[in-house]
Structure 1
């Protein structure tokens, strides 16, 4: 990130801006529209390939420490060859920035995969939103996955704004044994992703909805550390590597008007994410039917497509067996509950 340019901008603003902070009550806050900031990430590069971060104090059911080491983390421009040739990358533009907003629910819209804009958040609530650069409609967009038309051309990110990302985790779940999860992603973009949060008075808790869009030219997952015993020959790497080529996932979690995503912590300290039944709020049969009709007509759906799924190494993968193309399209969740567990 160009810190010098950012610092100069802040100093310039400080020299010309004069403002007075004013306390706003809840009624005044409810009328606030367009309050937020937009920003871009310029010349970003992260290289922690020689560093190790160890997370302790995570225990299994027997109370034993299960250390997790984070290694080989990198983030940079596409074409890095799994972090070997890292270059800075700029993500977002002034006309397509990241956004951090505060708005009323009725002012927000979600772009469904069929190109329609719909209101998903309830009216008359203040919503806090963090949003990636938005996807586009019409001919103005860019290919979401280079050379793969099935992923669509609605992304605002250009080829130069896509990133290579990698990280390795070492787990010591069993004494005397280290398990490895090594992940490398090529040409990643997340246009249209967002997280929205608000308070639900009836439930007396924080709720929200999330849209997670992942577009990637390649994703490689290896269950060993390259160059170590059992992970040095081409055959060993092939047997312990999965490669996903030309893949995307449009994951919709929550439809705020009738099925908000619930965040909670159980009595034994486990994190819980839940999508309740979308018609549970209907007091009568007619109300439940109306909620169901709205949900199935307007709620964004979840779709996942992997053009090539095989075991093998390299980007693209070489050797191994190709399992072919896999797709899940138009899936919705009538009920979902996800909770953490002790190891």
Structure 2
């Protein structure tokens, strides 16, 4: 395991956020409102290319173990050439840290695609929030993907704070066969991502909402392990790889005021994630219409944009194909239910 250093800073935001720690007298301290804990990952490097973590106790319908091996995991500064030349990276900084917050729902805001901040969480509840470095408005931001303006210029992470990340999964679903999923991200940032959790007394369960933002210069998905049969030469590896260049996703799961993300476990032990209909709490047609109008006007949307998508070498003669630009933008999820099942 490479060298990992964590710098933990208690971030007390009152008025203007500063990029350095300063001493406060008693009068100044009396005006400070604790807004949570902020922290920065300082000079972090993770290199587990020669390690294997095996996940057991996942069974199929016949109650047989289906092991998942995690291999070739790395995280470091951008420019690592898929983990071959790793160096440490600092993610976040004191004025734009990772944060663990506890606040009232009416005090939280979410940045919408049009640059407007909106309240998505219900009022009169206490919300626990884990958030990545923030996204900004105005001219103070950084390019989310260098050289690709369509991804936006409102990320707080600078180029030096973006990471290369890779991980490989080996699945032994069928006896005598191993299926491989090998992921390599280059210049990855997740600014503006968050997970918010709170208790819903009416449902007697924990609920929440999430925003998952992924910005990457490139993502390569390979279906084989380098150096194995059929995956030795550069051509063989390219023919079994999907390339996503200048790609980003803003995935919105839940609009807490009327469509919280529900977490549950079924009677047979399967997990369940559900986004209910946002008008379900209305009892009259007028109430349902008002809930629908609020949802479509204010709920953050889901966007997935891939500026360049290529499968294989891009040559039809070798079975590859260049799909070019692909996008799903402005997607609203009216209802969603995801349930795990035995293999």
TM-score w.r.t. structure 1 length? 0.89
Q: Is the 8 A contact 1:273 1:338 kept in 2?
A: yes
Cα distance, 1:225–1:93 mapped onto 2, change above 3 Å: same
Q: Does 1:150 align with 2:165?
A: no
Tell me the secondary structure at the aligned position of residue 278 of structure 1: coil
Q: Does 1:65 align with 2:61?
A: no
Counterpart of 1:336 in structure 2 is 336
Gaps of at least 5 residues in structure 2 are 10-22, 24-32
Q: Is the 8 A contact 2:239 2:313 kept in 1?
A: no
Displacement of 1:65 in angstroms is 0.7
Tell me the secondary structure at the aligned position of residue 289 of structure 1: helix
Aligned equivalents of 1:263, 1:154: Cα separation in 2 = 31
Q: Is the 8 A contact 1:142 1:155 kept in 2?
A: yes
Structure with greater helix share of residues = 1
Deviations 1:141-167 (A, max 9, x none): 000001101101010000000000000
Q: Is the 8 A contact 1:238 1:320 kept in 2?
A: no
Displacement of 1:135 in angstroms is 0.3
Runs (4+) of structure 1 exceeding 2 A deviation are 233-236
Q: Is the 8 A contact 2:8 2:39 kept in 1?
A: no
Aligned equivalents of 2:118, 2:234: Cα separation in 1 = 49
Q: Is the 8 A contact 1:50 1:71 kept in 2?
A: yes
Aligned equivalents of 2:64, 2:85: Cα separation in 1 = 39
Displacement of 1:127 in angstroms is 0.3
Pairwise CA RMSD of aligned residues? 2.0
Displacement of 1:56 in angstroms is 1.1
TM-score w.r.t. structure 2 length? 0.89
User: How many pairs are equivalent?
Assistant: 316
Counterpart of 2:86 in structure 1 is 86
Cα distance, 1:86–1:203 mapped onto 2, change above 3 Å: same
Gaps of at least 5 residues in structure 1 are 8-15, 17-32
Q: Is the 8 A contact 2:214 2:250 kept in 1?
A: yes
Q: Is the 8 A contact 1:272 1:338 kept in 2?
A: yes
Aligned equivalents of 1:99, 1:267: Cα separation in 2 = 35
Q: Is the 8 A contact 1:34 1:102 kept in 2?
A: no
Displacement of 1:339 in angstroms is 1.2
Tell me the secondary structure at the aligned position of residue 139 of structure 2: helix
